[in-house]
Amino acid sequence: MNELELKYGCNPNQKPSKIFMEDGKDLPVTVLNGRPGYINFLDAFNSWQLVSELKAATGLPSAASFKHVSPAGAAVATELSDTLKKIYFVDDLELSPIASAYAKARGADRMSSYGDWVALSDTCDKETALLLKREVSDGIIAPDYTEEALEILKSKRKGTYNVVKVDTSYTPAAIEHKQVFGITFEQGRNDLRIDADMLKNIVTDNKELTEAAKRDLIIALITLKYTQSNSVCYAKDGQAIGVGAGQQSRIHCTRLAGNKADIWYLRQNPKVLSLPFRDDIRRPDRDNTIDVYISDDYEDVLADGVWEQFFTVKPEPLTREEKKEWLKTFSGVSLGSDAFFPFGDNIERAKRSGVQYIAQPGGSIRDDNVIDTCNKYNMTMAFTGIRLFHH
């Protein structure tokens, strides 16, 4: 089949809508369940490229959680600590490697991942399907599904959950096209291979780059390759922990991604881990409540008469001073940027979120200022020489 009719385009008024192959060949995807839409397929094709490149670069099972054509999270399969299992709400599940990768991809920014599109580099197994069954999600793309996994996913959302199988042998054309305002754009496909060789040009005084940092920088850069620009990505422990996408200025990307990374780390604070939630509170409501609890207006939002809806007893607030002290222990974070940093203020902000390792293209007229700022904090920074804009 070389054509698939869709319900509508980006919005219900945009009809007709379809995906098709101009060369007459079969589409490289098969819909096994549901009826994916226009935006679903945009997420599916971008996320599949991301996870397949992550797997090729690291050799590890990889997963991504996509929303609105940008990753909310991306990760490779590494063992999760008990703390991460708890904040990702998977401490009651048996996790296979690919399930662990998805738990991390979704867990880094659970609020943004609500209603996500899932991409897996490896076969979806029962463990991953059971994890997905209880989360709010729009659909999944993977190279294959076990029989058990497929049956579990087909039962999701009253039988309408979108399940797509991708042909791993498919290679897209070297030249790609799209239309805007009735005008056709053409460019060479971005088939740039991202690996550790891209990190050899270290321009700071500190030249130390651990294997874990290399892995995390590769994850950040591949994530950025499929994130709407401008974009910045913080990564740690084999996963993206903060993605700042689609901002008009670099510093706003850095702040947005840094704030998300801070929330990821603050969720690991003992006070957050011990919040006395009522047993009948759903996971999405817990996510929202944790976000409020971490915020500075916790006391105002969860006033008397409100907190009782979520907690068995009113928890002690996590004060600003406590948050500052906790974030001071945040370290070993890697940061990637899809284009050069024009000012050292980005490094100053990154430092507040535990960044030690940086990869960016370089090429700004103020590179010396950015390098000096990194040296002030004994950071390691590599110039990749490659821009990763994605539009």
User: Which residues are annotated as catalytic?
Assistant: 67-68, 230, 391
What b/e readout covers 78-100, taking b as 16+ CB neighbours within 10 angstroms? bebeeebbbbbbbeebebbbbbb
User: What is the torsional sign of CA 262, 265, 269, 272?
Assistant: positive
**Sign of the CA dihedral 282, 76, 70, 15?**
negative
Angle at 260 between CA 257 and CA 262, to 5 degrees: 110
Q: Which residues contact 350 (CB under 8 A, 6 or more apart)?
A: 234, 254, 258, 333, 335, 358
Going by the DSSP 8-state scheme, the letter that residue 313 receives in this structure is S
* Identity of residue 384: T
Q: 164 in helix, strand or coil?
A: strand
Q: Which phi and psi (to 5°) does residue 157 adopt? A: 55, 45
List the structure tokens of 175. Answer: 């030249």
Contacts of 365 (CB under 8 A, 6+ apart): none
CA–CA dist 20, 134 (Å, integer): 33
State the burial class of residue 232 (Cβ atoms within 10 Å of its Cβ: 0-12, 13-18, 19+). Answer: buried
CA distance 131 to 126: 9
> Which of helix, strand or coil describes residue 27?
coil
